[in-house]
Amino acid sequence: MQRLMRLGASMLLMLALSTPVTAQARVDNGQSLPALIQQIFPEATEIRPKQSDPPVWPVYQVTELIGYAFLSGDYVQRPGFSGAPYQLLIGIDRDGLYRGVRVLEHHEPIFLHGLGPEPMHRFTEQYPGLDLRHTIKVTSASVRSKHAGSNVYIDGITKATVSAIVLNETVMLSAIQAAQATGLIPYRKPPAQVRMDLLERTDWAQLLDHGWVRTLTLSAPEVARAFDADTADAALEPRLAGETFARVHVAYLNPPTIGRYLLGDEHYQRLINARLEPGEHAVLVMNEGPWSMLGDDFVRGTPSDRLALEQNGVQVELRDLDFYHVVDPQLPAALPALEEFRIFGIQSGAGFDPASPWTLKLVVSREQGYLRPPDVRTFAVDYQLPSRFFIDSAPEPVDNTPLWLQIWQDSAIKIAVLLAGLVLLSAIILGHRRVTADARRFRVIRWGYLLYTLIFIGYITQGQLSITNVFTIIRVVSGSADGSVLMLDPVIFILWCYVLLTLLLWGRGYFCGWLCPFGVLQEMVAAVAQTLKIRQRRIPFRVHRRLWALKYLILAGLVGVSLYSLGSAERGAEVEPFKTAITMSFVREWPFVLYALVLLGAGLFVHKFFCRYLCPLGACFAVLGHFHLLRWLPRRRECGSPCQLCANRCGIRAIEPSGRINYRECIQCYDCEVIYRDDHQCVPLINARKGKKRPSGVDVIARAS
């Protein structure tokens, strides 16, 4: 026995030394954070100091602002499953796309001491390229495309569903707030819809007069002055013989009044019905001047380097539709002679609102010369159509459903199966006299329920309660965490409510004896030992009683440490093998697996060794359930004197030699009650059956402690 205790202590020390340090932010703002930002924006040439309003790091490539980096904690404090929030470093570009997400600090036990950080890092690697204006949902099911309707789906993390959902919520909420604060998305109004039933008679002159076609005229001297250059400067491409540099006309084609006139009915129908997907837009750009808005290197079907569309300070991609690659345009006769006539498309996810003002920019470059760097100038024309062309979309409904309620709704089936199981357990408890009346029937009922606990509560729903849950409750009670964090995992929450109720009524037993998945594993090991006829070590009751104190000392130490360092307490909670055996299904680093196997192996010789002497959660329940209301396991006056059968048969050894049941240690397995009702096992009943002596009546309270 002493060798076993020394081996257990050695394993605990090995676990403590091998457990990684809690992932906490130990980042120097002047050094480490810029290095991480550089990883998110590898093309960045300058990362400017963090601003205070809004709290972001502007990121530049030469003189161009390409995006922002920020800390999630500056915008949201969404508590994780541990009760503490994530601290994330997030990068977004000027198009409202995620560039990267880095986890700087977290306290999620499943990543600290279970799965490790790698699944979390793989999860955050899914964000680059996603649009922050889209709702991102975590899914456990594989989907063909990340885009489905207006939502984007990313893969969740097996065995860490709640932690992944909270991480995703932290990313989305902080990114939206940062983008709004920096002006990237000043509002979340959905794009207006074009009125396809509105068709007005018009002509070229009216289009110009009303501003439905806007024109930007540039002269050669004007462009030269913009570059502080001579009109004869050969660096301006092309060299211009006349005064006109460019005369560019721009129009939004989706409204029938504009599109039908400029394209003709046939090509307008082809554009709307065949080339544009729902929510996409078409912009017509026409050029009269010698300067090409496409350039010599332009490739059909790609964006032009010389055109840029901006709305609310954010550039929206214009991609050539190559609309006339087979047929020729059917232009109205009133249009001027044009050098270029191109239709560009805007994708539905670009955040473009056709009813709001937007700007088309011409980008003119000057080639590099001797002792002169290349240079760029932009010239802009503004565009806006009257409101009668559009149907104002209703404001996008804001989903105010709390996160915990969303999780509960998604877990409806698991909740129903769990509640059914708890109803069944309640029926067993309330009908325990009938359940234990037949020993064979009782074994079937008990082992059936234990398998339900191990498979469904343990491995399917990950409902293994842990001392780390107590740390979260302490944080909520102390005011350092919001109470809603307790409801993030519906299975854990329901189990806690049920266990607290049974603690009040009957003490700790119904969790430890019926609802603890690791406890079931220990029961199975004990059954194997019995089948193999492995001799159980009988620890003297005086020593056994002293060893009970170990779990209370472990509990006091963990709770005390948690008040000062949650991370240290979480590392210390590895004294529980629950994560290894249940959450991780023994797929973990070898020291943890070896430790769990040693504890289970000890159960071959000492029934439920871990439950008896080391489990801090069992100690917590024993303390909380000390003043339970009912003590209803039946006892006779002969129990303990002279009969010692129940005391000898009690696997957990919660029955003292005097015959009293110690409810702080009892797991309510009902084995003693089966003996109590069996006239082939209970000595007083055997004597009564043989006519030797009538058994005494039940004396529950007097014989229980």
Q: Where residue 46 falls among pLDDT bands split at 50, 70, 90?
A: confident
* Domain range summary for the chain, segments of one domain joined by +: 31-182, 193-391, 403-619, 631-705
Query: Which of 119-133, 295-309, 396-410 ranks highest by mean pLDDT?
Result: 119-133
More confident residue, 603 or 111: 603
Question: DSSP state, 11?
Answer: H
Nearest-CA neighbor of 301 among 265, 260, 238, 345?
345
Q: Among all chains, which residue has been given the structure tokens 């029961």?
A: 523
* 3 state SS of 154: strand
**What is the average pLDDT score of the chain?**
81
pLDDT of 168 > 60? The answer is yes
> What integer pLDDT is reported at residue 497 of this predicted model?
93
pLDDT of 253 over the 90 cut: yes
Q: In what order do the strands lie in the sheet with 319-320?
A: 213-219, 244-252, 281-287, 340-346, 319-320
3-state SS of 251-296?
Answer: EECCCHHHHHHHHCHHHHHHHHHHHCCCCCEEEEEEECCCCCCCCC
Overall average pLDDT of the 179-187 stretch: 78
Span of 64-78, 347-361, 423-437 with lowest mean pLDDT: 347-361
Tell me the per-residue pLDDT of 631-687, one tens digit each, with 9 for 90 and over. 778 888 888 788 888 888 888 888 888 888 888 888 888 888 888 888 788 888 888
Angle among Cα 477, 482, 488 to the nearest 5 degrees reads: 110
Out of 149-153, 313-317, 467-471, which region has the weakest mean confidence (pLDDT)?
A: 149-153
Q: What is the mean pLDDT of residues 568-588?
A: 85
Amino acid at 390: F
DSSP code string of 293-327: SS-TT--TTSB-TTEEEEETTEEE--EE--TTSSS
pLDDT in tens, 118-146: 888 889 999 999 988 777 778 764 443 44
407 pLDDT band, cuts 50/70/90, is: confident
pLDDT score, position 694:
60
In this structure, the dihedral spanned by the alpha carbons of residues 199, 203, 204 and 209, taken in order and rounded to 10 degrees, is -80
Region of poorest pLDDT, from 88-97, 110-119, 484-493, 590-599: 110-119
- Mean pLDDT value of segment 169-188: 82
Per-residue pLDDT at 15 exceeds 50? no
More confident residue, 88 or 2: 88
The predicted pLDDT at position 235 comes to 44
Percent of the chain with pLDDT strictly greater than 70:
85
On the question of pLDDT at 485 being above 90, the answer is no
Strand partners, 218: 246
Distance of CA 5 to the CA centre of its chain: 40
DSSP string, 504-526: HHH-THHIIIII-HHHHHHHHHH
| Mean pLDDT, residues 522-539 | 89
Three-state secondary-structure class, residue 457: helix
Q: Is the pLDDT of residue 194 over 80?
A: yes
**pLDDT, tens digit, for every residue of 368-384?**
555 445 577 889 999 99
Cis peptide upstream of residue 329 (ω within 30 degrees of 0): no
Q: Can you tell me which residue has the tokens 């001491």?
A: 113
Q: Whole-angstrom Cα distance, residue 81 to residue 469?
A: 9
Q: Kindly tell me the burial class for residue 257, based on how many C-beta atoms sit within 10 Å of its own C-beta (0-12, 13-18, 19 or more).
A: buried
Give pLDDT, residue 349: 62
- Asked whether residue 486 carries a pLDDT value surpassing 70, the answer given is yes
Tokens of 80: 């994780």
In eight-state DSSP terms, residue 372 is B
> Which pair of tokens denotes residue 107?
């306290």
- The contacts of residue 410 (CB under 8 Å, 6+ apart) are none
pLDDT in tens, 198-209: 999 999 999 999
- pLDDT > 90 fraction of the chain, expressed in percent and rounded: 30
Choice among 46-55, 290-299, 687-696 with the minimum mean pLDDT: 687-696
Per residue in 64-84, pLDDT (tens digit) is 888 999 999 898 887 776 677
User: Taking 80 as the threshold, does the pLDDT of residue 103 lie above it?
Assistant: yes
pLDDT at 237 over 60: no
Residue 543, both tokens = 């020593």
277-293: average pLDDT:
89
Looking at per-residue pLDDT, the higher value among 298 and 55 belongs to: 55
The pairing of beta strand 135-139 with beta strand 151-155: parallel
pLDDT exceeds 90 at position 157: no
Is-contact 48 57, C-beta < 8 A? Answer: yes
**Average pLDDT of the segment spanning 161-174:** 86
Residue 215, pLDDT above cutoff 90 = yes
pLDDT band at 535 (very low <50, low <70, confident <90, very high): confident
pLDDT value of residue 565: 77
Give residue 265's pLDDT: 92
